Amino acid sequence: MHASLKHLALAGVVLATLSACGGSSHSNNGFIPFLPPPAPAPAPPPAPAPAAPGSMDVKLIAFNDLHGNLEPPRLSITAPANGGGMVPVPAGGAAYLASAIASLKAKNENNAVVSAGDMIGASPLVSALFLDEPTIEAVNAMKIDFNAVGNHEFDKGQTELLRMKNGGCTKNTPLEPCRVNKAFPGANFGFLAANTVKSDGTTLFPATGIKSFTKDGATVKVAFIGMTLKGTPSIVTPAGVAGLSFKDEADTANALIPQLKAQGADAIVVVVHEGGTTTVGYNDKSCAGLNGDILPILDKLDASVDVVISGHTHRSYTCDYGKTNPAKPFLLTSAGQYGTLLTDINLTIDTRTRKVTAKSADNVIVQGEAYTSGATTVALTDQYPVFGKNQEVAGLVSQYLSVAAPLVQRVVGTLSGPATRTQAASRESVLGNLIADAQLAATSASNKGGAQIAFMNPGGVRADLVPAGDGSVTYGQIFSVQPFGNSLVVKTMTGAQIKALLEQQFNSGSNTVASPRVLLPSRSLSYSYSLSAPAGSRIGNMALNGTAMTDGASYRVTMNSFLATGGDNFTVFNQGTDTLGGDQDVDALEAYIKANSPLAPPAANRITALP
C-alpha cells in the first residue's frame, strides 16, 4: 500500500476508537488528550456540636422533721378523694420514704435531696435508744445531699452532733454508742449550719452547698443555704450549745447570696428549720391563713432567693409567697413531719440568662402500709401511689428492732386509765403532772436531794401513755414519752426565785401571754395565775403542801438536766444553788409506776387560771 494511504487508514482507526470511547472527532484537532486521574471526593464537613439547651429542668426533693421515725408512725394524710370528699392515706416509714425518694429521683437525673432539720432528736425508741445512729444509717441509704440542722440536732450537745456527722464511738452521753454497729460511719451527706457560729467566727458546719447539673454541654448550679432558727438556744440544753451563737436567719442568707452568685450559682435555695402554719390541706396551693415565725424571715430575705424549704412547725404547705408579698416571689414549702410526705419541687433554669424561669411544688404522700389504731383501720388506697419497701433500709430497721425488742416489750407496771398530754384550762396536763410526781418521788429522800417540788417542761413529754386492756404499760411506751435521756437535778431556790421562774412562763423569750409554756408541777405545789395582771405580777397563791410559800424561804426543787441550765428559756433555774445530780428521767418514771401499780393518773388541778 502506498505510504500516504497507509497513514490515512491508521488515522481512521484512531478516530473511530475515540468516537467509540465517547471522544469528539472535532476536538483537540484530532490529538489524544492527557486525562489526569479523578480528584478524590472532598471529606464531609464535621458534624456540628449539639446546641446547648435553652433551659434545664432540675428536681429538688425535700423533707423535714423526720425525728428518727424509722417505723411507720401510724399517721394518715387527709387527701382529696376522686369524685369529691376526702380519704385518709396511711403514710410514713423509712423504708417507704427511701423508695419514694428513689421514685422521684428516677423522673429527672438532675436532682438534689435535702432535709430541713430535726432529722434526729425526740425520736421513737428504736432510734433514740441507739443515740439516733439507726436514723443516720437509714438516711445514708437514701442518698440525700444535705441536711440543714434543726434545734433537735442539738439535743445531746454539739459534741454528739459532730459525732453524728463524722462517725465514731466516742461516748458523749449516758447512753452507750455503737451498741449495734461497732463502726458507726456518721453521715455520708452534708450538714449545713450557716447561722450557727463558733467563738472563732467560723460555722459549726459548712454554711452552704452547691450542686451542679450538666445537659448537652450546658451546666447549671443550684446553691443551698442551710440553717436553724435563731431561737435554738432557748429551746435546747444551754450546755449543749455553749460557745455557739445563732444569727438572724435572713441576715445570714442575704450576706451569703453575693458569694454564691460569684461562684456561679444560677438558683438560690434557702433550707431553714423554721416554719409557719396554714388553714388548708397538705397540698393546697392557696396557702390560706399562712402565718408563723417564717414570715418575718421571708419579708427580709433577698428577692433573688428562688425557693425556701422550711420545717419546725410539723405542718405541710406549698406556697407561692409572691401572692402574699409580690416583692418576695419565693416558692415556700414544708413536708409536714415524720417522713409522711415528700415535697417534689421542679425548677426550670434558662441556661443563657442563668435565671429560674418556672418553679412548682407538690407534696407527695409516702403511702406504704395500712395500720390499725384503736378501733380504726386506715387501709391503703389506690387513689394515691403506693411505694414498696426499700430492702436495705427495711433490713437495717429490722436489725435494730430485734436488739431493742426485749426492752421495748418489758412491762413496767399498770395504770388505772390513760395519762395524756391534753391540756386543761390551766394548761397543765395529766401526764405532765404524773411525770413531775415521779421525779419528786425519785429525789425526795435526803440522800437523793431532799426535793420538795418538781417541775416538768411540756415540750419534753413526747407521747401519751395509754395502757393496754389489762392496764399494763411497757418500757417502750414510757421511753416514747421521755426519749431525751435527761438526768434529774435538784437545786435550792428561794420562794422569790420560784415565783420569778413561774413568771417566765408568760414573759420570756418565746413564752408570751398569748402562747405561754406552762411548767407542769408536782402534787406538792399549787398556785394561780392571771393573764390580765401586769407582767411580773401574774403569779399568786403559791403553796407547798397547802402552806403558803414565802419569798425568803429556801426550797429544794427538782428539774431535768435540760431545764437545769435554762432550757426553754427558763433562765431562773440557773440561779439555783447546792446542785445535786440524780437518776435518768425515764428510770424515775419506771420506778414510780412500778412502786404504785395500779397507779391512778393524777388530776390536772394544781394550777388555777384566773381571769
- DSSP characters over 356-424: EEEEEEEEEE-----EEETTEEE---TTS------HHHHHHHHHHHHHHHHHHT-EEEEBSS-B---B-
pLDDT level of residue 19 (50, 70, 90 thresholds)? very low
- Is the pLDDT score of 30 beyond 90? no
**547-564 residue pLDDT tens:** 999 999 999 999 998 898
The correct answer on CATH 3.40.640.10 for the domain covering 409-610 is: no
Q: Are strands 472-474 and 371-373 parallel, antiparallel or unpaired?
A: unpaired
pLDDT of residue 511: 77
Do residues 560 and 486 lie in contact, with contact meaning Cβ atoms separated by under 8 Å? yes
pLDDT of residue 37: 55
Average pLDDT over residues 463-489: 93
Tell me the residue type at 286. S
Q: What DSSP string describes 74-106?
A: SEEEEEEPTTSSEEEEEE--HHHHHHHHHHHHT
pLDDT level of residue 13 (50, 70, 90 thresholds)? very low
- Is the pLDDT score of 341 beyond 60? yes
pLDDT of residue 234: 76
Mean confidence (pLDDT) of the chain: 91
**120-144 residue pLDDT tens:** 998 988 999 999 999 999 999 999 9
- Is the pLDDT score of 31 beyond 80? no
Q: Quick one: which H or E segment has residue 439?
A: helix 430-443
Q: How far apart are CA 413 and CA 366, in angstroms?
A: 36
Q: How far apart are CA 506 and CA 517, in angstroms?
A: 7
CA 572 to chain centre: 31
Which residues are CB-neighbours of 357 under 8 A, at least 6 positions away?
55, 348, 349, 350
Q: How far apart are CA 450 and CA 444, in angstroms?
A: 4
Which residues are CB-neighbours of 577 under 8 A, at least 6 positions away?
491, 492, 493
Radius of gyration of the chain (CA): 35
pLDDT of residue 52: 55
pLDDT of residue 8: 34
Cβ atoms < 10 Å from Cβ of 31: 8
Give span(s): CATH 3.90.780.10, the chain: 409-610
pLDDT of residue 513: 81
For 354: left if phi > 0, alpha if psi spans -120 to 50, otherwise beta; the answer is: left
598 prior amide bond cis, ω within 30: yes
Do residues 566 and 574 lie in contact, with contact meaning Cβ atoms separated by under 8 Å? yes
**567-591 residue pLDDT tens:** 888 999 999 999 888 888 999 999 9
DSSP one-letter code for 354:
T
All three cell numbers of 195: 447561722
- Is the pLDDT score of 48 beyond 70? no
Q: Which residue has the cell 461497732?
A: 182
- Is the pLDDT score of 23 beyond 60? no
Do residues 544 and 555 lie in contact, with contact meaning Cβ atoms separated by under 8 Å? yes
pLDDT of residue 484: 85
pLDDT of residue 514: 77
Buried b (16+ CB within 10 A) or exposed e, 511-535: beeeebbbbbbbbbbbbebeeeeee
Average pLDDT over residues 454-459: 96
Q: Are strands 146-148 and 245-246 parallel, antiparallel or unpaired?
A: unpaired
Q: How far apart are CA 241 and CA 235, in angstroms?
A: 11
pLDDT of residue 4: 41
pLDDT level of residue 237 (50, 70, 90 thresholds)? confident
Nearest to 382 by CA among 142, 87, 41: 87
- Is the pLDDT score of 65 beyond 60? yes
pLDDT of residue 43: 65
pLDDT level of residue 76 (50, 70, 90 thresholds)? very high
* Residues 264, 266, 272: CA angle, nearest 5 degrees: 105
Q: How far apart are CA 419 and CA 478, in angstroms?
A: 11
pTM for this predicted structure: 0.80
Do residues 602 and 521 lie in contact, with contact meaning Cβ atoms separated by under 8 Å? no
pLDDT level of residue 368 (50, 70, 90 thresholds)? very high
The correct answer on CATH 3.30.360.10 for the domain covering 58-401 is: no
- Is the pLDDT score of 41 beyond 80? no
Range with lowest mean pLDDT among 35-44, 103-112, 209-218, 241-250: 35-44
Secondary structure (3-state) at 519: coil
Residues of the chain with pLDDT > 90: what percent?
Answer: 82
- Identify any residues that bridge with 58 across adjacent strands, giving them in sequence order: 347
- What proportions of the chain, in percent to the nearest 5, are helix, strand and coil? 30, 25, 45
- Is the pLDDT score of 39 beyond 70? no
Upper half-sphere CA count for residue 301 (Cβ side, 13 Å) = 29
CA 40 to chain centre: 69
Q: What DSSP string describes 223-276?
A: EEEEEE-TTGGGTS-GGGGTT-EE--HHHHHHHHHHHHHHTT-SEEEEEEE---
Do residues 208 and 225 lie in contact, with contact meaning Cβ atoms separated by under 8 Å? yes
Do residues 214 and 128 lie in contact, with contact meaning Cβ atoms separated by under 8 Å? no
**274-330 residue pLDDT tens:** 999 999 999 999 999 999 999 999 999 999 999 999 999 999 999 999 999 999 999
Do residues 341 and 69 lie in contact, with contact meaning Cβ atoms separated by under 8 Å? no
Q: Are strands 267-273 and 218-228 parallel, antiparallel or unpaired?
A: parallel
pLDDT of residue 213: 97
**383-432 residue pLDDT tens:** 999 999 999 999 999 999 999 999 999 999 999 999 999 999 999 999 99
Q: How far apart are CA 459 and CA 484, in angstroms?
A: 11
* Residues 553, 554, 557: CA angle, nearest 5 degrees: 135
Upper half-sphere CA count for residue 379 (Cβ side, 13 Å) = 3
Give span(s): CATH 3.60.21.10, the chain: 58-401
Longest distance between any two alpha carbons in the chain, whole Å: 164
Tell me which of 12 and 527 has the higher pLDDT.
Answer: 527
Q: How far apart are CA 338 and CA 234, in angstroms?
A: 23
All three cell numbers of 563: 431545764
